[in-house]
Amino acid sequence: MSTTNDKDIESSYTPLEPRKEKFTHEEELKELERDLGAGSLPVSSPTHRTAPARPKLSASTIIPIWIVLSSSVIIYNNYLYNTLGFEFPVFLVTWHLTFAAIGTRVLQRTTNLLDGVRDVHMTKEVFVRSILPVGVLFSGSLILSNKAYLHLTVAFIQMLKAFVPVAILLISFAFRIQEPNRRLLAIVLMISGGVSLASYGELSFDAFGFVIQAMAVVFEASRLVMIQILLHGMKMDPLVSLHYYAPVCAAINLLILPFTEGWAPFEHLYRIGPFMLISNAAVAFGLNVAAVFLIGAGSGLVLTLAGVFKDILLISGSVIIFGSRITPLQVFGYSIALAGLVTFKTTGGK
């Protein structure tokens, strides 16, 4: 699941108003953690309270930790799905979110990592108007992006994820949140062309899996744009965000589970056992914790390059560990898409 996204996850949408520096860092994490769902989902009312001092880690320490955890979540999930044959992404995502809901509440009572919760003015109106619709999109994004691993290789999925910023821009244009210009159109063409070449060069292309991943991209991009529309001008760090969204998404997934996978996941739990089930969720949750320390550890460019390096490392790992095959055309196309992605982030998406 991202975190993380799978920070995710893990592409970003930059607000058009001032105060971009911190928001940009947090938005970058949304795309980087998208497989996990560690987004910074702002819901707090403006306050001037000084947040308690939080332990800080240097960029040279936290970035490698984040890269390892982010890559581990995706590789671990793929191992459960395709090597051990536990082909139940809805169940696994629901379990991750349940673990995260419990974990954030434990951290809230034992550490200062979730002290930001006290600054959140959560009302029934905010919950129904903002949390619930974004939660529906979040659940859809997580389920679809995990289900894609049953049909596509890890390497190809990472290449397709580069299309997220294009989807964000197109939706933003449609809602008139952002006006198109030559630079943005050039970025759209670069990323779209690169992803198209990567898709054309895929040796194990699966049309159904491609459609599922494309839908996951649409859900994720819609989620990020919806946050900008519904929660404009507010902010939260990824862990506080997860504190609110994990139980909502877990509940939504529980409603979906009987109609998608039914009782089958419980009958096949023997394939993975309790250790793998718990450790898998713990790695996913650890990624969300790492995301909190990652924010502010480096500049937006540093975090962007770290994300690009993570994706390249993940694609290479997919080839080595799972025997995925990539072609020179895919490498060329993905390189073009990455160049467009870096340009998009370093120019602030404008």
Q: What is the pLDDT of residue 299?
A: 64
- pLDDT per 10-residue tile (average), the chain, 350 residues: 42 36 42 38 39 65 90 94 95 96 94 82 82 91 95 92 89 85 88 91 91 95 85 71 91 95 94 94 92 72 80 87 87 91 76
Q: Looking at residue 272, what is its pLDDT?
A: 93
The reported pTM is 0.79
Tell me the backbone φ, ψ of residue 17, rounded to 5 degrees.
-85, 175
pLDDT of residue 55: 61
pLDDT at 84 (0 to 100): 94
Task: Give CA–CA dist 322/255, Å, rounded.
Answer: 33
pLDDT at 5: 45
Residue 260: name the closest of 81, 38, 92, 34 by CA: 92
pLDDT of residue 62: 87
How far, in Å, CA of 126 to CA of 320, rounded? 46
**pLDDT of 265:** 95
Looking at residue 341, its pLDDT comes to 85
DSSP three-state, residue 3: strand
To which H or E segment does residue 36 belong? strand 36-36
Q: Which residues contact 257 (CB under 8 A, 6 or more apart)?
A: 90, 91, 94, 265
Residue 63, Cβ density class (10 Å: 0-12 exposed, 13-18 middle, ≥19 buried): buried
- In sequence order, what DSSP letters do the residues of 188-212 get, joined into one string? HHHHHHHHHHHHHT-TT--HHHHHH
pLDDT at 119: 78
pLDDT at 15: 36
Residue whose entry in the numeric block shows the structure tokens 């947040």: 51
Q: Tokens 């696994």 appear where?
A: 92
